[in-house]
Amino acid sequence: MEDWAQCLDEAVRVARRAGQVVACAVQQEKCVRSKSTPTDLVTEADQQVEELIISTLRSRFPEHRFIGEESSAAGVKCELTDSPTWIIDPIDGTCNFVHSFPMVAVSIGFAVRKELEFGVIYHCFDETLYTARKGHGAFRNGVRLQVSKEKDVSKSLVLTEIGAKRDSATLDIFLGNMKKMLSAPTHGVRIIGSSTLALCLVASGSAEAYYQFGLHCWDIAAATVIIREAGGVVMDTTGNTLDLMSRRVVAAGTREIADYVVKQLQPINYGRDDSD
C-alpha cells in the first residue's frame, strides 16, 4: 500500500516556495477584488500562488486531482472523488494579507478515497511549518505537537472566524454563538483571520477549541490531519462525523470540550462546497 511519503515531501517543498512568494508579495502593492461577498477578498497573488502550487504538483503527479480555492472561484467543479486529491488554499487569510496583518498561511491537504492522508500548513510571516501524516503524528518545525488535554470549558480559550456573510440575521446568530461561548464562561474567544492558523493553534495546545460556519474544504483539509495527529478531535457542528464539503466545523483538544461547543451552536447555513 502506498504511504504517500513522496507526495508529502513534495507538498512541504512547494508550500515553502509558495510561502516565500507570499512573503514577498505582502510588501508590494496589491490588486484586491471581491468574490462571493464584498468581504470575501482575492488578490492576484492568491491566483499566482495557486497556479504555482498546482502546476508544480501536477507535473510530478499528473494523474492526481486538484481542488483549489481560486480554481473553484473561477468555476472549476469542487468535487472530492476516490482519486488522490490535493486540496489547496494558496493564501489563507487573504484579508490579513491585504492589510499585512501577520496571520497568513499556505495550506495543502491530500485525500485518497475521500480519507485525509496528510496536511501541510506554512505560516508565511514567521516561517513556521506544520505537518502531519495519518498515523505518524503532527509536527511544528519538526517538533511533535500535542493538543490541550483540558476538559473543563470554563478553563478554555476558544477560537472562531466570522465567515463572509455580514447580513444582519447572520451576524445575530454569529454574535449569539459567541455570547454563549463567552458566557460559558470560557477564558476568552479570539478571531485571528486565518482558519488554518487558528486550527494549528488548537493542534499546538495554545487554544482548546475552534468552531466556524462558512469556511471551505481547503480551510480544513490539511488542518484536520494536523489536529487529529496531535490527539484532538474534528467533527461536524452537529457532533456527527466531519463532512469536508459542509462548510462548518468544530475542533477541540478533547471530546468533552468539542461536545460542549456543539451543544451551544445555532447553525448558519452556507450551503456546500460541492453543490453546483
Asked if 71 interacts with ligand IPD (CB under 6 A), we say no
By CB under 6 A, name the one of 201, 215, 226, 258 that touches ligand IPD: 215
Closest-CA residue to 156 (of 186, 199, 189): 186
Contact 233, 255 (CB under 8 A): yes
Before 267, cis peptide (omega within 30)?
A: no
DSSP 131: E
Asked if 216 interacts with ligand IPD (CB under 6 A), we say yes
Binding to ligand IPD (CB under 6 A) within 36-55 occurs at none
Q: What is the DSSP annotation of 201-258?
A: HHHTTS-SEEEEES--HHHHHHHHHHHHHTT-EEE-TTSSB--TTSSEEEEESSHHHH
C-beta of 133 vs 247, nearer to ligand IPD: 247
Whether 115 sits among the annotated catalytic residues: the reply is no
By CB under 6 A, name the one of 161, 208, 229, 273 that touches ligand IPD: 161
By CB under 6 A, name the one of 19, 163, 232, 253 that touches ligand IPD: 163
Asked if 22 interacts with ligand IPD (CB under 6 A), we say no
- The window from 8-16, 70-78, 143-151, 156-164 that contacts ligand IPD (CB under 6 A) reads 156-164
Asked if 19 interacts with ligand IPD (CB under 6 A), we say no
* Binding map of ligand IPD across residues 72-111, x = CB under 6 A, - = no contact: -----------------x-xxxx-----------------
C-beta of 243 vs 259, nearer to ligand IPD: 243
C-beta of 69 vs 117, nearer to ligand IPD: 69
Length of the chain: 276
| CA-CA-CA-CA torsion sign (160, 166, 125, 54) | positive
Whether 89 sits among the annotated catalytic residues: the reply is yes
Residue 159 to residue 137: CA distance in whole angstroms? 23
Binding to ligand IPD (CB under 6 A) within 134-153 occurs at none
Contact 19, 125 (CB under 8 A): no
Euclidean distance between the first and the last CA atom of the chain, given in angstroms as a whole number: 34
By CB under 6 A, name the one of 71, 186, 194, 224 that touches ligand IPD: 194
By CB under 6 A, name the one of 70, 150, 219, 273 that touches ligand IPD: 219
Which member of 219, 227, 257, 268 is catalytic? 219
Cell of 102: 501577520
- Give the shortest CB-134-to-ligand IPD separation in angstroms: 23
152 - beta bridge partners?
none
Whether 219 sits among the annotated catalytic residues: the reply is yes
Cell of 180: 454563549
Contact 247, 227 (CB under 8 A): no
Report the interhelical angle of 195-203 vs 217-229 (nearest 10°): 10
Element (DSSP H or E) covering residue 8: helix 5-25
Count of residues engaged in binding ligand IPD, rule: CB under 6 A: 16
**Which positions are catalytic?**
69, 89, 91-92, 94, 219
Binding site for ligand IPD (CB under 6 A): 69, 89, 91-94, 161-163, 193-195, 214-216, 219
